């Protein structure tokens, strides 16, 4: 880790990593955390580890309907746990940060399972939109249920090395904005990605490959475009 990439004094180092990995930050918080990632190697490394957990576990949970109030309580607990681990990070070297990272990873495991249960319980209903795929192999669909979306990709090409897929929301006549959702695909090219924001008023859901940690604006042509309206 270089001297310029040690820890930022203007941000709770790593405090938002677990919530960001789950897409639980609001757009303003997500933008601030992406800017923080540009200068903090600790948070980049921790986010990489947490994203692996978050992407692997959702579909491994037993499939039962989940009350939305429980989902909100667990997400609040993740963010609270992440912030409780921050003071130890501010006075420790990277080796000492590992126990705090393990606590955050445990929280991500719990929420990833919860989110997976919720998605599985709602996957049999809603409007299904076949998305356009360009510059990649595989297929993509967007399932709309009660104004919320779930992106379903199958046999999809993995992102380039050092990149992840980032989801964007576009309203008519406006530029795409981050959905605060990053994902990759499993060994079979599959992923089921829940979108935390409402899609009411959104005309397109797009996906682009972006540098790990995401970007504030698209840097690549979309590989997935779903026409919502």
For the stretch 53-76, pLDDT in tens is: 655 555 444 444 555 566 566 666
pLDDT(3) > 60:
no
The pLDDT of 38-56, averaged and rounded, is 72
CATH 2.60.40: does it fit domain 127-227? yes
pLDDT of residue 154: 95
Sheet containing strand 139-145, edge to edge, reads: 127-130, 139-145, 148-154, 191-195
Q: Lowest-pLDDT range, 37-46, 92-101, 171-180?
A: 92-101
CB-neighbour burial class of residue 82 (10 A; exposed 0-12, middle 13-18, buried 19+): buried
pLDDT of residue 94: 38
The mean of the pLDDT values for the chain is 74
The ranges assigned to domains in the chain are: 3-122, 127-227
Longest dimension (CA), the chain: 52
Confidence bin at 37 (pLDDT 50/70/90): confident
């Amino acid at each position: 880790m270089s001297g310029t990439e040690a820890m930022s004094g203007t941000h709770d180092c790593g405090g938002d990593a677990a919530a960001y990995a789950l897409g639980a930050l609001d757009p303003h918080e997500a933008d601030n955390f992406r800017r923080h990632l540009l200068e903090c190697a600790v948070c980049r490394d921790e986010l990489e580890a947490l994203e692996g957990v978050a992407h692997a576990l959702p579909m491994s949970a037993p499939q039962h309907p989940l009350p939305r109030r429980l989902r909100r309580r667990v997400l609040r607990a993740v963010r609270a746990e992440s912030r409780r681990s921050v003071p130890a990070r501010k006075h420790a070297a990277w080796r000492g940060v590992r126990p705090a990272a393990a606590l955050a990873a445990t929280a991500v495991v719990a929420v990833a399972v919860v989110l997976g249960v919720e998605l599985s319980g709602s996957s049999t209903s809603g409007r299904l939109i076949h998305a356009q795929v360009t510059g990649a192999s595989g297929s993509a669909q967007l399932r709309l249920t009660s104004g919320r979306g779930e992106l379903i990709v199958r046999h999809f090409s993995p992102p380039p090395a050092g990149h992840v897929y980032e989801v964007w929301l576009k309203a008519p006549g406006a530029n795409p904005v981050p959905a605060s959702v990053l994902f990759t695909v499993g060994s079979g090219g599959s992923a089921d990605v829940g979108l935390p924001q409402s899609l009411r008023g959104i005309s397109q859901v797009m996906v682009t490959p972006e540098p790990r940690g995401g970007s504030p604006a698209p840097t690549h042509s979309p590989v997935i475009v779903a026409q919502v309206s």
